[in-house]
Structure 1
Amino acid sequence: MLLLVSGASGVGKTTARLHARHLFERRQLDSTYETAELFTLGPIPAVPTIAWRQQQVETAVRRAIALEAEGRHLLFAGDPVPVGEALAAPSADRIDIAACLLDADEETHLARLARRAEPEELIPLHRGFAAWLRAHATDPGHVPEAVTTDSWEEMRWERWVGRTPGPEWAMTVLDTSRLTPEQAGAAVADWCRRAVAGEAPVFRAGWFK
């Protein structure tokens, strides 16, 4: 299974992934779950593009497929990859995909961005993307151009673009506003367990047919 943790910059994706990985190691589950983010899948270009990101998502999907053959799973977290990009990756029809959106209230998000010394002119973009991800979690028809514009030509957007909200479009949303890094990591690790066990929403391979 591909376990995607999505979210805007500053909500805690990388931190949660690292703490979840430590939990996997302590519980001797590191042979079951492999973790990755974009920079672990290949070099990052000087000017990353949407198309490049989507090509790397396909790399993650293919890695998840290879791990599944061994009875293992890939936790892909740390980058602002929307679930729609993962589902539209060319090979995504061959693997179950579960998605968890990490979110935070405005005050917490702004404070985290400030601690990262994000340029002031980028703050509205980060906040706008957070709002779009929040809507995308429940409505595939909400401004799909946010990810389809300037996209990689191999993406299979027809799998979900044009759909309306429905029970087949579901993911887990986790509010990290009041969670410590350790608690966020534990919550992500528990979500992984629940998704694999069928206790959390999962897009099953070929769900769109």
Structure 2
Amino acid sequence: MLLTIAGSSCSGKTTAAWAACADMQRLVVHDFDEIGVPSDADRQWRQRSTEAWLSRVLRYQADGVDVVLTGQSPLGEVLACPSATRLEAIAACLLDVDDEFRESRLEERDPGKWDPDAKRSFMAWARWNRGHAGDPGHQPEAIMPGWQEMRWERWSDWTGADPRWAVEIVDTTGRGVQRSAADVRRWVRTARSQFARGHLGLAGD
């Protein structure tokens, strides 16, 4: 199964995922950016690259291995990728942090790199992700139409009340890595258990 952890930059996704899951059996952790990010990356690039990652997840799936994938791709993009329906199961999590902490982390990680406009873009993407996590109908134009191979019709008529649209939210604001990692670990264990018992919304057909 795929356990996808999304969030705007400096939410703490990769750090928390590795701390939470590095010792779990039959599970690997990958960061989306391992494939490299071109300077002109846009939503179409992100969507094509998400499909490439799903193809890789399918190879792990064939070996009985689950994948935790951290990155920028929200649930709606994952579900719309051509290969999404070939996955045995999908579980989604949003790692978030408030704007003040995000800006502080950006400056700590990349001193002087981001101008005010870039920082505002990170904050806006974070706000959009919060809305998307609760409601698939929240400003879909932020990710659509995008790459022509995407299958938006798979979920475009869903509402936030649909049991398939379940996004766990972990807020890392003012919290140490271990506390955030504990929440991620609990989410991973719960999702895997629900899948094993046939109770996961995004599983099977």
TM-score range, shorter chain: 0.7 to 0.9
CA separation of 1:111 and 1:43: change in aligned 2, threshold 3 A: closer
Q: Contact (CA 8 Å) 1:65, 1:94: kept in 2 or not?
A: yes
| Partner in structure 1 of residue 17 of structure 2 | 17
| Partner in structure 2 of residue 86 of structure 1 | 78
Residues 1:130 and 2:129 are matched in the alignment: no
Superposed displacement of residue 195, structure 1: 0.8
CA distance in 2, matches of 1:161, 1:167: 12
User: Which residue identity does 1:105 align to in structure 2?
Assistant: D
Q: Contact (CA 8 Å) 1:171, 1:201: kept in 2 or not?
A: no
User: Which residue identity does 2:53 align to in structure 1?
Assistant: A
How do 1:1-209 and structure 2 match up within 5 A? Answer: 1-22=1-22, 24=23, 29=24, 31-40=25-34, 42-77=35-70, 79-95=71-87, 96-116=89-109, 117=111, 118-149=114-145, 151-168=146-163, 169-198=165-194, 202-206=201-205
User: Which residue identity does 1:183 align to in structure 2?
Assistant: R
Superposed displacement of residue 205, structure 1: 4.0
CA distance in 1, matches of 2:105, 2:178: 16
CA distance in 2, matches of 1:32, 1:124: 39
CA RMSD of aligned residues (A): 2.0
CA distance in 1, matches of 2:139, 2:102: 22
Superposed displacement of residue 175, structure 1: 0.9
Q: Contact (CA 8 Å) 1:102, 1:174: kept in 2 or not?
A: yes
Q: Contact (CA 8 Å) 1:4, 1:98: kept in 2 or not?
A: yes
Superposed displacement of residue 137, structure 1: 0.6
Per-residue Cα deviation, 1:154-205 (whole angstroms, up to 9, x for no partner): 1111111243222321111111113212332332223211111118964224
Superposed displacement of residue 94, structure 1: 1.7
Superposed displacement of residue 108, structure 1: 2.1
User: 5+ unaligned residues in a row in structure 1: which ranges?
Assistant: none
- TM superposition outliers: structure 1 runs of 4+ over 3 Å: 199-202
Q: Percent identity, please.
A: 36
User: Which residue identity does 2:97 align to in structure 1?
Assistant: A
Superposed displacement of residue 21, structure 1: 4.4
Q: Contact (CA 8 Å) 1:16, 1:185: kept in 2 or not?
A: yes
Per-residue Cα deviation, 1:132-173 (whole angstroms, up to 9, x for no partner): 111101111111110114x11111111112432223211111
Q: Aligned residues, how many?
A: 197
| SS of the residue 2:37 aligns to | coil
Per-residue Cα deviation, 1:112-142 (whole angstroms, up to 9, x for no partner): 2332333222122111111111110111111
| SS of the residue 2:56 aligns to | helix
Q: Contact (CA 8 Å) 1:92, 1:205: kept in 2 or not?
A: no
CA distance in 2, matches of 1:106, 1:128: 10
Per-residue Cα deviation, 1:1-32 (whole angstroms, up to 9, x for no partner): 1000011111111221232344x2xxxx3x51
